[in-house]
Structure 1
């Protein structure tokens, strides 16, 4: 079996992601014939059919789905390797965060890090927790700040920051058995924690999914329902009286923030972790170095 170049892997992944030869060609700024030839070359080298026609587009075969997962990991590792041999202070750092952490936990440490190390190329991606940990496993992100990672993910918790989940709502009387519970979208750790709490309470109240973090807070402020949310996210709303904490059995829940990497963090990632746990640099936003699992 011959070798498949990184360029052809990237072309195949574009086709897999977009479900179209035409759209992949447009994104890569090449001809459709070039994309088709690249995919055909990969299939010939592997001796397996990777894509099949479906209506006007294409879908991956089972072999294609398996190969796409390997391609993501291989290409991510190659980019990580390039970053790893650069000096930490002039490298690249890709941080992934869940929405709540992106708005309330990481911005000030990130700002002070950028001021301290202006030559580091930074990017920040806000995604659902499940997406972030999958990207980290594929080396498409260098560091994730979110809840606890899946146990079997072969990821490392490098630092933690205490946080709690509380139930909040506007106004006075909220019976958790009958009030509408406002939910984040699928893949949210807070959404999963909400359903787990409702199961423990053995209640089946109405729910309303609003998707974004900001929409959930706005809906709670307008009295549309109650929600389980990180206390970090609603401090100013509680202080102003726009929201109040609701006494629900089993809450508050201890849900620390975690700074998570692969087992081989890049120099720039290690530099940011050192900054993140340094209270002289990050003050009350500092994380604590993780000890044990």
Structure 2
């Protein structure tokens, strides 16, 4: 099969979205339900793309379908195309009527982002905000695909193409019930989910200390803190997530070689952020607007 010269005409926004829905759900019927269309409409959209590409995008696997090698390759391009189109849709508007798509790791979304968003929305009610909360690696993958405009997480990976615009102090501390553990390396360590930067940092710390305590995965930082409060073990956690319980005496920090760990929050964007994104960055770097939640930058944000 050869690609058709009519591929640009065939690759409409709706068909590309339909392709990704099938790719992500593994089912024509599930994709149809998510898009609120009929299964024949989904099949027709995929067939039109396959005809224009001159390639088969999906194959049968039991009762479902799976992407072919061509489908996997095409999906990588489609994610970027849809991300760029969405980015363009926000970029063409004035800053105070644009769109800011935020990608954040769970801890930042729970303990830091709401305060920043609330004050921003109060001042700029016509800017459309959206938030995607995912593990660190997935958040940065979204940024690579232009699916988010700004990332709130730890340090971006090398080669990501992202620019750190501002930072905010943050550190990881080891916490548990006060006085319950004489040696924290002999009790259970409570972990966040796979893909979490905090989990990776915890395992790296234990490796450096040549320690192998029992491990228990509880998912989120909030769940790990709750488990520590109940005496399940200790957890390495962002200090802000544990602060209320440290202040109340429900939790205490445990001294351990290598802790606390300084892990500042980073606000990252592509090299050319949209006007609305620059407006958001200026807002969250202004202590007069967001108080002690403010991020800090050494250079003036332009635009």
What TM-score do the two structures reach when normalised by structure 2? 0.93
3-state SS in 2 of match to 1:144: strand
User: Where do 5+ consecutive residues of structure 1 fail to align?
Assistant: none
In 2, the alpha carbon distance for the partners of 1:260 and 1:19 equals: 32
Q: Which runs of 4+ in 1 moved over 6 A?
A: none
Q: What residue in structure 1 maps to residue 23 of structure 2?
A: 16
2:219 maps to 1:214: no
Q: What residue in structure 2 maps to residue 273 of structure 1?
A: 281
The answer to whether the 8 Å contact 2:164/2:269 transfers is yes
For the aligned residue pairs, the C-alpha RMSD in angstroms reads 1.3
Structure 2 counterpart of 1:165, from 138, 160, 172: 172
Q: What residue in structure 2 maps to residue 33 of structure 1?
A: 40
Q: What residue in structure 1 maps to residue 144 of structure 2?
A: 137
The alpha-carbon deviation at position 177 of structure 1 amounts to: 2.4
3-state SS in 2 of match to 1:236: helix
In 2, the alpha carbon distance for the partners of 1:39 and 1:126 equals: 29
Q: What residue in structure 2 maps to residue 201 of structure 1?
A: 209
Structure 1 counterpart of 2:134, from 127, 152, 158: 127
Compare 175-184 and 186-195 and name the one that shifted more: 175-184
Q: What residue in structure 1 maps to residue 265 of structure 2?
A: 257
Structure 2 counterpart of 1:177, from 174, 185, 193: 185
Q: What residue in structure 2 maps to residue 232 of structure 1?
A: 240
In 2, the alpha carbon distance for the partners of 1:58 and 1:163 equals: 45
3-state SS in 1 of match to 2:152: strand
The answer to whether the 8 Å contact 2:163/2:268 transfers is yes
Q: Report the number of matched residues.
A: 291
The answer to whether the 8 Å contact 2:106/2:135 transfers is yes
Structure 2 counterpart of 1:289, from 291, 294, 297: 297
2:60 maps to 1:45: no
3-state SS in 2 of match to 1:139: coil
User: Where do 5+ consecutive residues of structure 2 fail to align?
Assistant: none
In 2, the alpha carbon distance for the partners of 1:40 and 1:97 equals: 36
The alpha-carbon deviation at position 98 of structure 1 amounts to: 1.3
Compare 238-247 and 138-147 and name the one that shifted more: 138-147
The answer to whether the 8 Å contact 1:180/1:225 transfers is yes
3-state SS in 2 of match to 1:27: helix
Q: What residue in structure 2 maps to residue 102 of structure 1?
A: 109
